[in-house]
Amino acid sequence: MQQIFNFIFKNSNRLLFLLLLITSLTLAIQSHSYHRSQMVNSANAMTGTVYEKINEVKTYFSLKDQNDKLAQENANLRKLLFNQKDSTTSLLKDSVKGYDKLDVIQSKIINNSYNTPENYLTINTGTLKGVHPDMGVISSQGIVGVIEKVSPNYATVISVLNIKSKINAKVKRTNHFGSLIWKAKNAGYVQLVEIPRLASVKKGDTIVTGGISKIFPENIPVGVIDKIYMDTETNYYTVNVRLFNDMTNLNHVYIIKNKDIGEINKLEAETKPN
């Protein structure tokens, strides 16, 4: 307490000056409308700046939620796009109200390998959200892989960078079909094999999914032709395809659910000879 009194006594002149300054400013502002308006404007400007900075901080910390919402919106848009492109679905929609053959489920990659012969990804979506084995997985750039195993909240995906992967694909310009595989040489390239020799394929042609599949709808982007080889034993082309996807840098993905796959599998099982 004594120290406080000592401080006031030593700085009495300065404290008196500050008190008189504040009093005079207050009286001047209260008695003159111009000074009062300037004070209000300055206070508003300062308050606006503070609010703006606070909003910037809030926006930064809400980026994750915004990204998740955008990914979900993309999933909904892709669902509409896939069903619109499916001519069979379009016809059925005209005759059966509410028919939707394909559904799209948004998910996120939590683990990704790309430097072994058999690469897998793990996503944070499982059976609780309708994910099951043999569903196609894509990103905003193109195909990623196929669901292999699932748990209630997670699933593993056979990457296109897996020597066991085999996906129906075609040359978009000519509609010639082949099988998309990976020869474990480069994470940026896959191979399209069994393309007929009579096909007029060329470097730069776009490769897309073929549609002869229960997993992927037709025309999902894959990549572009980089090199073309002739297999002398089979007389088929082997095409080196540069992927649209950077498989080493993936985040949000979309799972394609064919709602008719159960019916198709049952029918095919009944059709196969004993």
pLDDT digits (tens, 9 = 90+) for 190-247: 999 999 888 889 999 999 999 888 889 888 999 999 999 887 777 889 999 999 999 9
Dump pLDDT digits (tens) for 154-201: 999 999 999 999 999 999 999 999 999 999 999 999 999 999 888 889
Span 37-66, pLDDT tens digits: 555 445 444 544 554 555 555 555 555 665
Alpha-carbon distance of 235 to 169, in angstroms, equals 19
Q: Report the pLDDT value the prediction gives residue 40, as an integer from 0 to 100.
A: 47
80 closest CA partner among 98, 103, 96, 99: 103
Cα separation, 45 vs 47, whole angstroms: 5
pLDDT of residue 268: 76
User: Which sequence spans correspond to the domains of the chain?
Assistant: 2-61, 65-271
Q: What is the pLDDT of residues 134-146, one digit of tens each?
A: 999 998 888 999 9
What does the block give as tokens for 231? 């297999």
- Domain 65-271 annotated CATH 2.130.10.10: no
pLDDT of residue 264: 77
Distance (Å, rounded) from C-alpha 46 to C-alpha 60?
21
Cα 251-80-178 angle, rounded to 5 deg: 70
3-state secondary structure the chain: CHHHHHHHHHCHHHHHHHHHHHHHHHHHHHHCHHHHHHHHHHHHHHHHHHHHHHHHHHHHHCHHHHHHHHHHHHHHHHHHHHHHHCHHHHHHHHHCCCCCCEEEEEEEEEEECCCCCEEEEEECCCHHHCCCCCCEEECCCCEEEEEEEECCCCEEEEEEEECCCCEEEEECCCCCEEEEECCCCCCCEEEEEEEECCCCCCCCCEEEECCCCCCCCCCCEEEEEEEEEEECCCCEEEEEEEECCCCCCCCEEEEEEECCHHHHHHHHHHHCCC
Query: Given phi > 0 = left and psi -120 to 50 = alpha, else beta, which region is 194?
Result: left
